[in-house]
Amino acid sequence: MRHTDTSVQTPPKYARLAVGLWIAAGLFCLNVLEARAESAIRTKPATTAERAATADAQSTQLRVLMEKSGASAALDAVPENMKRGIDEALKKAPKRPDVEQLRRLYAVIDTAYAPEKTKAMFFQRLSEKIPPELGAKILVFLDSPLGRRIVEQEKRWQDPKVFAEIQANAAKLIAELGGNTTRLALYQSLDQALELTPNAVKSFISTAMAVNAALLSGQFEMQNRPTLAEIQKNLESQQFAIASAMSQTMLSSMAYAYRNLSEAELNAYLQFALSPEGKDFTRESSAILSQIMMECAYDAGKLAQPEQPPI
């Protein structure tokens, strides 16, 4: 019988990774919405050279968008955040890996979640969703005072010290929100409109899958070692508890990051998210990120399997 219960950990450190990824994705959604809210650019039939130039321009714009939206920073931070999650999980693990096992484990994370790999995947899949004529329009919002303020705050969430500060003051931040029902409602509406909590839960599960698979690979004999599918099923059975904790993490993170935004600015942010295009794009971009994280989790699980001696 395979072991699928008590040794499967759900380290709380993954909350930082989940929040960073999904807030970055949410911001990118809103940037696109602002672009689509303006009039479309009319183009005449293009020559081969013009199409090539347009493709090059789109590529450049998408890379700038990934940088300015915070998506690149979020993906850059994944390996180190996962290693911190491993360190936290090991505090409760029944058997701590030796130095060499830990080195191999970190190497698996570095390979499976290599930023150049995940950013290339994100870029490729996102490029299929954004037509070239929207690129310049999207940058308008990113370069606006509000856009720059939001991005700067969200990039700071990738700093472990900042996230630790948010977590340490989470109860206070939530309590203060309770005294401002309008602001609390705005944060909750943003969370719901951008599907931040459910998507953060997906990110949490996929990263926890990878780490648990890697940790458990060295703790059980082959016949007792849980498969990735079994680990996934176990984690998904805990979705309600994970979602409850993640919802509070999202609220405290928004309360911290957006504390200097006015209610009018938050309302403007929310209106884009609630538009039909906003809902569609949120769903599309979130699906891309979910797919990438799950694919990387399976890559990590496969890489973590110890080599079998020749028969």
Please state, for a pLDDT cut of 90, what percent of the chain lies above it. 17
Flag whether pLDDT at 92 surpasses 90: no
pTM of the model: 0.72
Listed in sequence order, the residues at least 6 apart from 105 whose beta carbon sits closer than 8 Å to its beta carbon are 86, 97, 214, 215, 304
Listed in sequence order, the residues at least 6 apart from 158 whose beta carbon sits closer than 8 Å to its beta carbon are 16, 20, 73, 74, 76, 77, 81
Q: Please give the pLDDT value at position 285.
A: 75
Contact call for residues 139 and 65 (beta carbons, < 8 A):
yes
Q: 281 pLDDT band (50/70/90 cuts)? A: low
Flag whether pLDDT at 79 surpasses 50: yes
Q: 81 pLDDT band (50/70/90 cuts)? A: confident
For residue 47, the SS3 value is coil
Q: Where are the domains of the chain?
A: 14-304
DSSP code for 259: T
Q: Please give the pLDDT value at position 50.
A: 66
Residue with the bigger pLDDT between 237 and 41: it is: 237
Q: 309 pLDDT band (50/70/90 cuts)? A: very low
pLDDT tens digits for 101-147? Answer: 888 889 999 999 999 999 999 999 888 876 666 656 667 767 878 77
Q: Please give the pLDDT value at position 292.
A: 93
Q: Please give the pLDDT value at position 224.
A: 65
Flag whether pLDDT at 258 surpasses 80: yes
Flag whether pLDDT at 263 surpasses 90: yes
Using CB atoms within 10 A of its CB, is residue 12 exposed (0-12), middle (13-18) or buried (19+)? Answer: middle
Q: Please give the pLDDT value at position 187.
A: 94
Residue with the bigger pLDDT between 109 and 223: it is: 109
Q: Please give the pLDDT value at position 123.
A: 92
Q: Please give the pLDDT value at position 278.
A: 64
Contact call for residues 17 and 78 (beta carbons, < 8 A):
yes
Q: Please give the pLDDT value at position 118.
A: 96
Residue with the bigger pLDDT between 229 and 3: it is: 229
Which residue matches tokens 């203060």?
176
Rounded Cα distance, 292 and 25, in Å: 13
What is the overall mean pLDDT for the chain?
A: 76
Question: String of b and e for 35-48 (b: at least 16 CB within 10 Å)?
Answer: bbeeeeeeeeeeee
pLDDT tens digits for 155-164? Answer: 777 677 887 8
* pLDDT (mean) for 36-59: 59
Q: Please give the pLDDT value at position 138.
A: 63
Q: Please give the pLDDT value at position 120.
A: 96
Contact call for residues 284 and 129 (beta carbons, < 8 A):
yes
Q: Please give the pLDDT value at position 137.
A: 62
Task: Provide the token pair at 180.
Answer: 């401002």
CA-to-CA separations, 30 to 193, 213, 270, 271, 277, in angstroms, rounded: 11, 35, 9, 9, 10
